[in-house]
């Protein structure tokens, strides 16, 4: 049986961390390498007690050992920890770096999907689907890059489609499984390098999705908005969805302009069109075959794998 594992650097409430871990253990993960960005997190003890989990509190000693000092940017911390997990004693055949709000959704099983790959495949990408705010089981699926993508996105999101790449608030890159045992591997957030070669012998997994709960509720989104605008997925240095020659603005620029003109009401209007499970958005997605319902059943899996947690 093909063994797989994941690495994640996490700063989140204990319940969210344990739900993430429980879901992927239930999905067949052989090993979870979890790095707690808050070294005093209450999640450490229950994670430590689980036989499939290797947990590391990212304290001063941890960063002195692998980096010399704690990197300021969380993206750098994620990459360093994922590479550290990859270079541990090999316990799995494949390793993927993920975030705490991402969940693998295979058509059969993760293990079967990876086992079917050719032996010379070194990297396998799973593309995201992005959760819509509402009940929590509605998702918009990935639109492959191509000549029709821009028109499709603009049709689905007539006011804000020009600013959201592929119709997603967050990444469209997905995440990458990397075959273990390779030399000179450096793992990044969405990619991996072998020396200077990015994603060697990469394929895309057609039978597995990455469910991304980027914006569960309006309250959840607006709470994270300022951090994402300054340091996260809406930060200034990221590229616009459309080229500058076509009048493209980055999400950072669009949000700043919208907020200056309309305040929080403008942000709420954006969120409603782009991220909320309304009848209008659902109908537009369904008409194009881009709507999917998934039940992750996180609380049941939490109870199954961490029964002592309340």
Q: What is the pLDDT of residue 135?
A: 87
Asked whether residue 222 is assigned to any structural domain, the reply reads no
Give the percent of the chain with pLDDT over 90.
89
State how far the alpha carbon of 8 is from the alpha carbons of 65, 90, 227, 258, in Å: 18, 17, 19, 33
Q: What is the pLDDT of residue 109?
A: 98
Q: What is the pLDDT of residue 247?
A: 75
The token duo for 109 is: 């099983």
Comparing 71-85, 168-182, 212-226, 233-247, which segment has the lowest mean pLDDT?
Answer: 233-247
The token duo for 143 is: 């639109």
Quote the number of domains for the chain.
Answer: 1
- pLDDT, mean of residues 161-169: 92
- pLDDT, mean of residues 253-258: 94
Virtual torsion, Cα 12, 17, 23, 27, nearest 10 deg: 100
What pLDDT, in 10s, does the model give residues 47-76? 999 999 999 999 999 999 999 999 999 999
Asked whether residue 27 is assigned to any structural domain, the reply reads yes
Range of the domain at 64: 4-127+170-214+296-305
Asked whether residue 221 is assigned to any structural domain, the reply reads no
- pLDDT, mean of residues 85-101: 97
pLDDT of 173 higher than 90: yes
Asked whether residue 274 is assigned to any structural domain, the reply reads no
DSSP 32-71: EEEEESSTT-TTHHHHHHSTTEEEEE--HHHHHHHTSS--
Asked whether residue 180 is assigned to any structural domain, the reply reads yes
DSSP 251-288: HHHHHHHHHHHHHHHHHHHHHHHHHB--HHHHHHHHHT
Asked whether residue 210 is assigned to any structural domain, the reply reads yes
Asked whether residue 21 is assigned to any structural domain, the reply reads yes
- pLDDT, mean of residues 158-184: 95
pLDDT bin (cut points 50, 70, 90) of residue 243 is confident
Asked whether residue 20 is assigned to any structural domain, the reply reads yes
What pLDDT, in 10s, does the model give residues 199-230? 999 999 999 999 999 888 999 899 999 999 99
CATH, residue 11: 3.90.550
């Amino acid at each position: 049986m093909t063994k797989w594992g994941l690495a994640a650097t996490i700063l989140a409430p204990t319940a969210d961390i344990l739900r993430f871990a429980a879901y992927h253990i239930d999905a067949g993960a052989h090993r979870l390498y979890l790095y707690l960005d808050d070294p005093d997190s209450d999640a450490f003890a229950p994670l430590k007690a689980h036989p499939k989990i290797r947990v590391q509190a990212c304290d001063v000693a941890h960063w002195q050992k692998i980096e010399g000092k704690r990197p300021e940017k969380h993206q750098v911390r994620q990459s360093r920890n994922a590479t550290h997990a990859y270079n541990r004693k090999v316990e799995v055949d494949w390793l993927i770096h993920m975030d705490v709000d991402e969940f693998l959704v295979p058509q059969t099983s993760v293990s079967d999907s990876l086992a079917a790959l050719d032996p010379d495949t070194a990297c396998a990408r799973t593309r995201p689907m992005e959760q819509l705010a509402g009940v929590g089981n509605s998702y918009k699926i990935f639109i492959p890059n191509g000549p029709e993508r821009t028109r499709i996105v603009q049709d689905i999101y007539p006011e804000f489609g020009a600013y959201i790449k592929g119709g997603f608030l967050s990444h469209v890159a997905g995440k990458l499984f990397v075959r273990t045992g390779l030399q000179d591997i450096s793992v990044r957030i969405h990619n991996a390098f072998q020396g200077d070669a990015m994603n060697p012998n990469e394929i895309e997994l057609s039978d597995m999705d990455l469910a991304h709960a980027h914006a569960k509720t309006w309250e959840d989104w607006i709470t994270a908005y300022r951090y994402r605008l300054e340091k996260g997925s809406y930060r200034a240095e990221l590229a616009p969805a459309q080229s500058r020659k076509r009048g493209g603005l980055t999400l950072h620029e669009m949000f700043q302009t919208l907020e200056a003109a309309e305040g929080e009401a403008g942000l709420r209007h954006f969120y409603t069109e782009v991220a909320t499970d309304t009848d209008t958005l659902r109908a537009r997605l369904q008409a194009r075959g881009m709507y999917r319902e998934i039940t992750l059943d996180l609380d049941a899996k939490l109870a199954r794998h961490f029964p002592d947690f309340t």
